[in-house]
Amino acid sequence: MWILCKTFSILIILFSVFSGCSVHPNTFSKKDLEKYGVRRVAVIPFYNNTTAKTAGKVVTNCFIEELLNSKDIEVEFPGNVRKLLVEERIITRKGIGSGQIKLIGKRLNVDAVVLGRVTEYGGDNGSGSPVVSVNARMVHTDTSSILWMGQNKRTGDDYIKVFDIGRIDSAPKLARNVVRELILTID
């Protein structure tokens, strides 16, 4: 009986340790990112490439909030960004060229622009667990060079520690975690 109890305890401990292993976002960051002096950014509304109507707005808002919470970066007011996009007839789903990025930088007085795309959002993986996949990049407004870019895809089940504890059941909560993990990779 004692051996069975001891074996069961060891199995529970091993399961707890290994179930906490996770996949990290795929990212690229310029080695000399500090030299660009990015202090102020404009977050362009993320393009929604999913069937969920609000996915782009949710991820854009998460990105703005998480940038404000975790970095020494000032974020341009989203209303000013949208107003400029409308005035200049910049359509994000077609992509934004270097001339448009430079224009945004001058007009909004920002050092960089954050652009992105939501490629998966909701309970589309068949297991009932939500799934969120986001691609994002930060582009310098003077040089139009990519300073940082990342991709992160997670499901609500990725956060389970043991016995369904830690599971994320809603796409908006999962989106916040996906975005937070991405932003933590910006050096």
Which domains, ranges and CATH numbers included, belong to the chain? Answer: 24-183 (3.40.50.10610)
pLDDT of residue 28: 67
pTM for the full model?
0.80
The tokens describing 163, both together, are: 């016995």
b/e code 31-58 from CB counts within 10 Å (16+ = b): eebeebebebbbbbbbbbebebeebbeb
Comparing CA positions, the residue from 65, 66, 59 lying closest to residue 171 is 59
Mean pLDDT of 49-72: 91
- Phi then psi for residue 168, to 5 deg, are -100, 125
pLDDT of residue 162: 73
Hey, which residues does 91 pair with through a beta bridge?
Answer: none
pLDDT at 124 over 60: no
Mean pLDDT of 121-134: 78
pLDDT of residue 19: 43
pLDDT of residue 67: 92
pLDDT of residue 96: 86
pLDDT of residue 8: 46
pLDDT at 98 over 60: yes
Mean pLDDT of 45-74: 91
Mean pLDDT of 173-180: 92
pLDDT at 134 over 50: yes
Comparing CA positions, the residue from 175, 176, 120, 112 lying closest to residue 149 is 112
Cβ–Cβ under 8 Å, residues 66 and 176: yes
Mean pLDDT of 2-22: 47
- Residue 41: band (very low, low, confident or very high) from pLDDT cuts 50, 70, 90: very high
Mean pLDDT of 123-148: 85
Cα pseudo-dihedral 49, 50, 55, 56, rounded to 10: 10
* Other CB atoms within 10 Å distance of the CB of residue 29: 15
